[in-house]
């Protein structure tokens, strides 16, 4: 008996007859309520070893008192079935067998040759119109480019919407989309190595207590200013509040580049909603190591919503696997506008905002969290203000209280060409004492108190530029601040 099957047998023998009957119903044993312990264990092992086929649950007779069952044991049965069924027991080419610890490229537009008849596709799994498809380009529906995934694969490996799948696929007929014939990996892990999966909504959130340090060699002034005055923690729910032409997109790019450089193991998703095509091109060329998901302004509202929804589901699946994920979104305002265009509840708030249009964007923004047992989802979204539209101001006010970090950009500083145009007094993070060292926290407080007409952003930036790092600045700050006060 194989190690996996022996492990299953040992687990089953520990269970009571009541638990075994519940497990038997879940895996497809015929009439488990009529069996004693030993025959029931034998039937479950036969199904796990693919010696007998599971039967659908019968609607006849009295219903069971409970539908609860041990999900870990059922998951172990599924792993045995996958192994003994021959679906993933062997790789046709050992040289192309994926390494378990190899870094995973989460790009969704790669297609490579596998053999004479089949290709390897990577993409994001989506459930659409009662069927499952692998979206192989920009998380969107493409004619002939997507891969059909049969429900049997989904059930066998317990796949979920948003999973990053690598599979072999073959085109049955000319003009049809290819169909998956072989699942190579799920979120970078072989299907037979998948552990029982967590559910994102059941993970325990806690305050961000580990910082993404943006400062780096060859970095920008923006990185150091954010590190000192608005630190970004893992699991942060952050807003970049900006009037037009104040540099929000540039700040978003700087943050993306810093995180991908300093934390290559972190999955970074740049989500551009209702954006200009040239800015999409610029970000794709500038930010290396990140997924760029976009829906330009020439696309419809449903396309904007689809891109955001699938990007979030993909991020959740990665967090469930214990990964750190960052979504940089431009912008939450335009996503809410898209929902507002397709929602009609018959009620209206100030500015023409339908209250129902806020539900899904709030779920999106509220998904950011630091997970107690590992993994995090950080969302940094831009919000537009002072655009001349009352609707944009109302949207910002609705999201203002939901965030735990804000970077507020100043129109006045931008007009004076002082960049980054960050209003330092209005910017900051909640529970920043969990993210900053004692020296950084003390320096941040003192500099905020000094900011005013005589000591503005220009003077502060000049002080920062005289040092290589924020740590060096903390060491020399006492001397400089004393000179400044004596000079007044």
List all residues 6 or more positions away from 289 whose beta carbon is below 8 Å from its beta carbon: 260, 261, 264, 268
Which whole-number Å values give the CA distances from 89 to 45, 79, 83, 193, 466, in the listed order? 18, 10, 5, 11, 60
**Contact, 407 vs 237, CB < 8 A?**
no
Q: Are 350 and 291 a contacting pair, CB within 8 Å? A: no
What the block records as the tokens of 180 is: 């998956």
Does 238 appear as a known binding residue? yes
Annotated binding residue 276: yes
Residue 247 assigned ligand-binding role: yes
Q: Per the annotation, does 249 bind a ligand?
A: yes
Instruction: Check the annotation: does 333 bind a ligand.
Output: no
Residue 351, annotated as binding a ligand: no
| DSSP strand pairing (111-113 vs 369-371) | unpaired
d(CA 117, CA 110) in angstroms, rounded, equals: 17
Residue 428, Cβ density class (10 Å: 0-12 exposed, 13-18 middle, ≥19 buried): middle
Q: Is 245 annotated as a binding residue?
A: yes
CA angle 379, 381, 384 (to 5 degrees): 165
C-alpha 347/C-alpha 395 separation (Å) is: 16
Is 466 annotated as belonging to a binding site? Answer: no
Residue 224 assigned as binding residue:
no
| Strand residues in 73-178 grouped as ranges (E) | 111-113, 119-128, 131-135, 147-149, 164-170
First to last CA, the chain: 84
3-state secondary structure of 139: coil
Provide the annotated binding site: 233-238, 245-250, 276
Annotated binding site for ATP: 233-238, 245-250, 276
């Amino acid at each position: 008996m194989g190690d996996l099957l022996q492990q299953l047998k040992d687990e089953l023998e520990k269970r009571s007859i009541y638990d075994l009957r519940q497990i038997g119903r879940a895996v497809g044993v015929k009439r488990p309520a009529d069996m004693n312990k030993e025959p029931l264990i034998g039937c479950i092992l036969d199904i796990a070893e693919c010696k007998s086929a599971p039967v659908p649950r019968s609607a006849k007779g009295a219903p069971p008192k409970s539908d609860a069952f041990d999900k870990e044991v059922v998951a172990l049965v599924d792993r045995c079935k996958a192994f003994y069924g021959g679906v993933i027991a062997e790789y046709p080419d050992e040289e192309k067998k994926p390494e378990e610890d190899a870094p995973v490229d989460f790009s969704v537009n790669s297609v490579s040759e596998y053999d004479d008849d089949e290709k390897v596709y990577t993409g994001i799994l989506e459930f659409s119109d009662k069927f499952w498809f692998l979206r192989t380009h920009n998380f969107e529906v493409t004619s002939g480019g997507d891969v059909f995934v049969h429900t049997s694969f989904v059930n066998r490996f317990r796949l979920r919407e948003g999973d990053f799948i690598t599979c072999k696929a073959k085109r049955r007929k000319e003009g049809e989309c290819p169909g998956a014939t072989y699942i190579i990996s799920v979120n970078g892990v072989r299907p037979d190595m998948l552990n029982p999966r967590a559910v994102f909504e059941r993970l325990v959130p806690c305050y961000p207590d580990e910082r993404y340090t943006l400062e780096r060699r060859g970095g920008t002034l923006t990185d150091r200013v954010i590190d000192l005055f608005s630190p970004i923690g893992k699991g942060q729910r952050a807003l970049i509040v900006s009037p037009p032409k104040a540099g929000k997109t540039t700040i978003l790019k700087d943050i993306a580049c810093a995180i991908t450089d300093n934390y290559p193991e972190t999955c970074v998703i740049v989500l551009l909603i209702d954006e200009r095509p040239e800015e999409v091109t610029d970000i794709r060329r500038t930010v290396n190591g990140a997924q760029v998901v976009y829906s330009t302004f020439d696309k419809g509202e449903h396309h904007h919503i689809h891109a955001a929804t699938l990007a979030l589901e993909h991020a959740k699946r990665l967090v469930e696997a214990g990964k750190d994920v960052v979504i940089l979104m431009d912008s939450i305002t335009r996503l809410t506008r898209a929902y507002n265009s397709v929602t009609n509840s018959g009620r209206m708030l100030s500015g023409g905002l339908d209250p129902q249009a806020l539900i899904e964007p709030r779920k999106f923004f509220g998904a950011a969290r630091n997970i107690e047992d590992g993994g995090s989802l950080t969302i940094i979204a831009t919000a537009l203000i002072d655009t001349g539209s009352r609707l944009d101001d109302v949207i910002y006010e609705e999201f203002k209280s939901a965030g735990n970090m804000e970077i507020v950009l100043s129109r006045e500083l931008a007009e004076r060409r002082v960049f980054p145009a960050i209003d330092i007094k209005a910017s900051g993070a909640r529970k920043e004492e969990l993210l900053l060292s004692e020296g950084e926290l003390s320096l941040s407080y003192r500099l905020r108190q000094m900011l005013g007409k005589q000591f503005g952003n220009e003077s502060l930036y000049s002080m920062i530029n005289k040092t290589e790092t924020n740590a060096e600045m903390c060491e020399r700050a006492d001397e400089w601040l004393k000179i400044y006060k004596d000079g007044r």
